[in-house]
C-alpha cells in the first residue's frame, strides 16, 4: 500500500501546524511548507519541512516538479493586512493578493498532474471574513472572498 502524501502550506504556526501534525499522527507523509525553515523547530518532527513562500510564484514550479503523486493539497498559508484601506501602498496590496489568492491558485495548477494521478483532493482554507466584512480588513476580506 502506498503511503498517502499531503502538502500543507503555512505550517509555521496556527491551523497549518495543527493540520500537518494531525496528518502526520494519522500516518500520512506530510510535506510541511514554511517560508522560513529555521522557524519550524521541532514542532514538525516527522514531517518533511519544505521551504515555500506561496507569494513567490518562482518557487512553485520547482517544488511541483519534485512531486509525482499527491493525495491532498491543503492551501492554508495566508495573512491579514490590517488597517485603513487608504494607508495600504500598492506593494502591500499586491503581496496580500499574491499570498491569499494567486499563490494558492498557481499551486493548484502546478500540482494538478500529481493530484490527478492520486485522485487527490484540494482543501482551500477560507475565512468567514470572505463572507462578512470586518473593519480595517478590507483587502483581507476581499482576498478571502476570492
Q: Give the span between the Cα atoms of 100 and 114, in whole angstroms.
A: 22
Grid cell listed for 64: 511541483
Sheet with 48-51, edge to edge strand ranges: 48-51, 29-34, 5-8, 72-75, 121-124
DSSP-derived pairing of the beta strands 5-8 and 29-34: parallel
Locate 136 and state its grid cell. 480595517
Which is the catalytic residue, given 140, 141, 142, 144? 140
Can 140 be counted among the known catalytic residues? yes
Question: What residues contact 67, with CB distance under 8 A and at least 6 apart?
Answer: 5, 7, 31, 111, 114
Look-up of cell digits 484601506: 85
Catalytic residue set: 140
Amino acid at each position: 500500500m502506498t503511503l498517502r502524501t499531503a502538502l500543507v502550506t503555512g505550517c509555521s504556526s496556527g491551523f497549518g501546524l495543527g493540520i500537518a501534525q494531525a496528518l502526520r499522527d494519522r500516518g500520512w507523509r506530510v510535506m510541511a511548507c514554511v517560508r522560513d525553515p529555521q522557524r519550524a523547530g521541532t514542532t514538525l518532527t516527522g514531517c518533511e519541512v519544505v521551504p515555500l513562500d506561496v507569494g513567490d510564484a518562482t518557487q512553485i514550479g520547482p517544488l511541483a516538479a519534485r512531486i509525482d503523486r499527491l493525495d491532498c493539497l491543503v492551501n492554508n498559508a495566508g495573512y491579514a493586512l490590517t488597517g485603513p484601506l487608504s494607508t495600504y501602498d500598492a506593494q502591500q496590496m499586491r503581496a496580500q493578493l499574491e499570498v491569499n489568492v494567486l499563490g494558492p491558485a498557481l499551486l493548484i495548477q502546478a500540482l494538478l498532474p500529481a493530484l490527478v494521478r492520486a485522485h487527490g483532493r484540494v482543501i482551500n482554507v477560507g475565512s468567514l471574513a470572505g463572507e462578512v466584512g470586518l473593519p480595517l480588513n478590507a483587502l483581507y476580506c476581499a482576498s478571502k472572498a476570492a
